[in-house]
């Protein structure tokens, strides 16, 4: 190779490489396999994955490189200017075939019963590089399986030690739960402690595994890949809006897999988005319209149910009507709800049902920095968020930034477990978060940082001191030239705000405190979805209620007069707006159960029944053509009054965040589903006469709950922490509580 560049017109950070005679420009320091992939030149591989560190341990990608005496691994050989590479020469092909023969020595011959059959990388490559008869006559080795929990099934005899799963848990998940034990032919991949995987991203080891060693325990033995139809859809359990495929057979959703989008979720998917589809088939799924007759419920036809709903709305129009909308509702449905509210003359419309303090700037706003750029931030400040559980793949972006050298600072009421080191932490009660953001200590810790990002999460946005925290976070970000990223509280909170599902009159808290004579509930499980459950149930119990719902659950039946069954996101065509303002589209995949209908169809029929304008369309395309952002002059809410006692911080449990997730059995069996409990600092617990594991009565204005106590030094003194989404904690609202021994 000449000292002079082969192509002097290339940028200085690129070189020229020839692969199978094709001239390519490749970045300096990149590997042969990366250059080949960019040019569409196939090179077989097992251990290489473009999002993981290079291991070079499978040797399947051996290629011929001019002037190298032996074949070189394409995944670990950097390109050089003028390099000549042959991927299909005799030496390369012979080496690849020999490697395949070694890989198959111990691999079991169980393709007919393997769940990976039809999408197995080993199966595909063995067809092209394998021998028709094995020359290995000795006994194959057998590896015992481990129970990795309710999500991932294991058949470790099939493992080819590519180590992708090990590198995933180490580099991406950050939990280091899998590793290699023993050596040589005795090498086994597994956990060191024999416990289930606890990472919230564990399902991704299924995707990276090139064989059938790690498979989807929920999907296992239910269908073959070639029986499935893939439909583009979105994650709807957090505001990131992860891109995914829903795999359907004859209308039944059988599994969910990630859809590549580097700007949003890369090629990963959180377990919450991957396994929540189980909840779609719950026993209490609403499948037919239901009407209350006295204390009894009966099934009805759509005409009768819509007539009853229309009559309730006519009788309680204008200010007598309150409309409460789940923050994961689609843009199309939200726009129709805003039209319905306008047609009925009510300004009592809100989607911020999980937020206690709606004072100040409580409306969702787009991130100040695109998600895809957060991993290049230099300094990150996390305010009031268990980010790892709230938005798992946003937490992953922060980890990637930390791996690149970013400093992470935390202001929280609980010292949550993150998978990155924290440069400084201020663990303070919720009432002190705003003052901490404006204090000299945090300013000194972050210093003159550049490329700073401030992430504000659910504990701040949904708590009793949210207004003050929002104001302090905005001031802090402005003073330090930081990008302010407030996590919208709901999968489509930003889209609903954009399309006018906001109060021109009473907000969610106000219309429950000052009870209306009738309410519309849209997509809400009333017993668990509100910030103040007691207030909500009391208001709804004394009113007429029209419930558009995916589930005819006990709490909906307790308050509703009409239940109209609607589809969940995997079953309807919809658009959602994610936390950076990106509008994304989902395609209907699963079959609607029974007589359930897409929400936009039900709203269209109800609007037509009421004779309102804007409901004359017949197709979704017509509705979308008329969608436009709607400006609403939002009336600021009132900050809740502080009570006496310990400050209670409340955040949704990772697998209890909404009605669909709560009904997914595999997620409820996951180790991260801890159950209802209250966490106190050991000093506070001792002062209250409570030991770790004891039972305590916890009470505030909302109600009383009996919970098990966890004494943890991770909780700020003077504060307590409870996860919402459980029936046992539903009686409590963020604020101050009294705690006494039960």
Say yes or no to pLDDT of 733 above 50.
yes
Say yes or no to pLDDT of 2 above 70.
no
What 8-state DSSP symbol labels residue 328?
T
543/616 same-domain check: yes
Residues whose CB falls within 8 Å of the CB of residue 241, separated by 6 or more in sequence, listed in order:
234, 235, 264, 491, 576, 577, 578, 579, 582, 584
Contact 166, 178 (CB under 8 A): yes
Q: What pLDDT, on a 0 to 100 scale, did the predictor assign at position 3?
A: 57
195/331 same-domain check: no
Backbone dihedral angles phi then psi of residue 418, each to the nearest 5 degrees: -110, 165
3-class state of residue 650 by DSSP? strand
Say yes or no to pLDDT of 1 above 80.
no
How many separate domains does the chain show? 5
272/329 same-domain check: no
More confident residue, 661 or 135: 661
For residue 336, is it within any domain?
yes
Q: HSE of 115 in the Cβ direction (CA atoms, 13 Å)?
A: 20
Q: What pLDDT, on a 0 to 100 scale, did the predictor assign at position 642?
A: 78
CA separation for the pair 268, 257 (Å, rounded) = 9
What 8-state DSSP symbol labels residue 472?
H
233/84 same-domain check: no
- State which of 455, 471, 486 marks the end of a domain: 486
421/471 same-domain check: yes
CA separation for the pair 230, 253 (Å, rounded) = 10
522/537 same-domain check: yes
161/243 same-domain check: yes
Say yes or no to pLDDT of 6 above 90.
no
For residue 29, is it within any domain?
yes
Q: What angle is formed at CA 453 by the lines to CA 262 and CA 474, rounded to 5 degrees? A: 130
Say yes or no to pLDDT of 8 above 80.
no
Q: What pLDDT, on a 0 to 100 scale, did the predictor assign at position 394?
A: 98
619/676 same-domain check: no
111-121 mean pLDDT: 93
Q: What angle is formed at CA 373 by the lines to CA 369 and CA 375, rounded to 5 degrees? A: 120
Backbone dihedral angles phi then psi of residue 740, each to the nearest 5 degrees: -135, 155
What 8-state DSSP symbol labels residue 156?
G
CATH of the domain at 79: 3.10.20.740
CA separation for the pair 687, 645 (Å, rounded) = 12
494-506 mean pLDDT: 97
For residue 507, is it within any domain?
yes
Contact 439, 331 (CB under 8 A): no
For residue 118, is it within any domain?
no
- State which of 441, 463, 486 marks the end of a domain: 486
> Which residue, 4, 214, 223, 194, is CA-closest to 120?
214
CATH of the domain at 559: 3.40.50.740
96/217 same-domain check: no
Q: What is the 3-state secondary structure (H, E, C) of 266-292?
A: ECCCCHHHHHHHHHHHCCCECCCCEEE
277/295 same-domain check: no
543-566 mean pLDDT: 97
More confident residue, 700 or 287: 287
480/562 same-domain check: no
Say yes or no to pLDDT of 234 above 60.
yes
- State which of 231, 247, 281 marks the end of a domain: 281
Tell me which residue has tokens 């473009």.
50
Q: What is the 3-state secondary structure (H, E, C) of 214-247?
A: EEECCCCCCCCHHHCEEEEEECCCCCCCCEEEEE
CATH of the domain at 478: 3.40.228.10
For residue 128, is it within any domain?
no
pLDDT-derived band at 450, boundaries 50, 70, 90: confident
For residue 364, is it within any domain?
no
- In 10 A of CB 613, how many CB atoms? 9
CA separation for the pair 511, 348 (Å, rounded) = 7
Q: Quick one: 713 exposed, middle or buried, by C-beta within 10 A (0-12, 13-18, 19+)?
A: exposed
3-class state of residue 684 by DSSP? helix
661-670 mean pLDDT: 97
CA separation, residue 309 to residues 137, 316, 565 (Å): 74, 11, 13
Q: What pLDDT, on a 0 to 100 scale, did the predictor assign at position 323?
A: 98
CATH of the domain at 152: 3.30.70.20
pLDDT one-digit tens code per residue, 195-213:
999 999 999 999 999 999 9
375-392 mean pLDDT: 97
Q: What mean pLDDT value characterizes the chain? A: 95
> Which residue, 383, 374, 437, 372, is CA-closest to 401?
374
For residue 635, is it within any domain?
no
pLDDT one-digit tens code per residue, 619-644:
999 999 999 999 999 988 888 887 78
Take residue 185 and report the two structure tokens written for it: 């032919």
pLDDT-derived band at 166, boundaries 50, 70, 90: very high
Q: pTM value? A: 0.95
CATH of the domain at 699: 2.40.40.20
For residue 551, is it within any domain?
yes
CA separation for the pair 76, 55 (Å, rounded) = 8
pLDDT one-digit tens code per residue, 328-359:
999 999 999 999 999 999 999 999 999 999 99
273/416 same-domain check: no
pLDDT one-digit tens code per residue, 510-531:
999 999 999 999 999 999 999 9
Which of 134-138, 271-275, 285-289, 714-718 shows the lowest mean pLDDT across its residues?
Answer: 134-138
- Full domain range(s) for residue 177: 137-281
């Amino acid at each position: 190779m000449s000292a002079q560049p082969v192509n002097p017109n290339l940028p200085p950070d690129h070189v020229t490489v020839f692969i199978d005679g094709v001239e390519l420009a490749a970045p300096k320091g990149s590997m042969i396999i990366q250059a080949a992939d960019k040019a569409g030149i196939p090179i077989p591989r097992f251990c290489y994955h473009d999002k993981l560190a290079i291991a070079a341990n499978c040797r399947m990608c051996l290629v011929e490189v001019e002037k190298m005496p032996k074949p070189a691994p394409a995944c670990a050989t950097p390109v050089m200017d003028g390099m000549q590479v042959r991927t299909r020469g005799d030496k390369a092909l012979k080496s690849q075939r020999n490697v395949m023969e070694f890989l198959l020595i111990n691999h079991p011959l169980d393709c007919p019963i393997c769940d990976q059959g039809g999408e197995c990388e080993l199966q595909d490559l063995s067809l092209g590089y394998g021998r028709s008869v094995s020359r290995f006559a000795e006994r194959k080795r057998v590896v015992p399986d481990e129970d990795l929990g309710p999500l991932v099934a294991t058949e470790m005899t099939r493992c080819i030690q590519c180590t992708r799963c090990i590198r995933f848990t180490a580099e991406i998940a950050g939990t280091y739960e899998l590793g290699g034990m023993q050596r040589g032919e005795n090498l086994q991949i597994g956990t060191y402690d024999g416990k289930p995987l606890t990472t919230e991203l564990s399902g991704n080891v299924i995707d990276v595994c090139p064989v059938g060693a790690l498979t989807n325990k929920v999907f296992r033995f239910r269908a073959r890949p070639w029986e499935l139809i893939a439909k583009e859809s979105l994650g709807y359990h957090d505001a990131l809006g992860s891109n995914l495929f829903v795999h359907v057979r004859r209308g039944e959703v059988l599994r969910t897999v990630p859809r590549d989008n580097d700007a949003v979720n890369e090629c990963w998917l959180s377990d919450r988005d991957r396994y929540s589809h189980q909840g779609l088939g719950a026993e209490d799924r609403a499948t037919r319209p239901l009407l209350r007759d006295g204390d009894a419920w009966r099934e009805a036809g759509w005409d009768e149910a819509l007539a009853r709903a229309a009559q309730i709305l006519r009788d309680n129009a204008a200010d007598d009507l309150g409309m409460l909308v789940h923050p994961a509702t689609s843009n199309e449905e939200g726009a129709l709800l805003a039209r319905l509210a306008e047609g009925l003359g009510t300004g009592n419309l809100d989607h911020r049902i999980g937020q206690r303090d709606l004072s100040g700037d409580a409306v969702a706003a787009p991130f100040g920095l695109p998600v895809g750029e957060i991993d290049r931030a230099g300094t990150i400040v996390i305010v009031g968020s268990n980010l790892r559980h709230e938005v798992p793949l946003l937490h992953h972006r922060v980890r990637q930034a930390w791996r690149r050298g970013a400093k992470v600072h935390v202001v929280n009421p609980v010292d949550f477990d993150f998978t990155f080191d924290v440069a400084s932490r201020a663990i303070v009660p919720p009432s002190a978060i705003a003052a901490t953001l404006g204090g000299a200590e945090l300013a000194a810790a972050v210093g003159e940082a550049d490329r700073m990002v401030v992430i504000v999460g659910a504990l701040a946005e949904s708590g009793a001191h949210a207004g003050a925290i929002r104001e302090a976070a905005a001031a802090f970000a402005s003073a330090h030239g930081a990008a302010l990223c407030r996590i919208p509280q709901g999968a489509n909170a930003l889209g609903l705000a954009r399309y006018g599902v906001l109060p021109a009159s009473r907000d969610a808290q106000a219309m429950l405190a000052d009870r209306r004579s009738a309410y519309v509930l849209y997509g809400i499980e009333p017993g668990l979805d509100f910030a103040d459950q007691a207030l909500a149930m009391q208001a709804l119990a004394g009113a007429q209620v029209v419930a558009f719902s995916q589930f005819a659950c006990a709490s909906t039946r307790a308050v509703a007069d009409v239940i109209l069954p609607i589809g969940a996101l995997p079953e309807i065509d919809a658009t959602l707006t994610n936390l950076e303002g990106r509008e994304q589209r989902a395609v209907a995949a699963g079959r609607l159960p029974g007589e359930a209908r897409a929400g936009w169809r039900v709203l269209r029929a109800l609007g037509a029944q009421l004779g309102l304008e804007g409901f004359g369309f017949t197709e979704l395309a017509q509705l979308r053509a008329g969608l436009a952002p709607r400006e609403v002059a939002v009336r600021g809410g009132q900050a809740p009054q502080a009570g006496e006692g310990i400050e209670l911080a409340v955040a949704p449990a990772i697998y209890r965040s909404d009605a669909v997730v709560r009904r997914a059995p595999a997620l409820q069996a996951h180790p991260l589903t801890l159950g209802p409990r209250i966490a106190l600092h050991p000093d506070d617990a001792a002062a209250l006469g409570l030991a770790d594991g004891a039972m305590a009565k916890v009470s505030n204005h909302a109600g009383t709950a009996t919970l098990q106590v966890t004494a943890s030094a991770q909780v700020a003194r003077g504060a307590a922490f409870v996860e919402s989404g459980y029936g046992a904690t539903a009686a409590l609202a963020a604020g101050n509580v009294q705690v006494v021994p039960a």
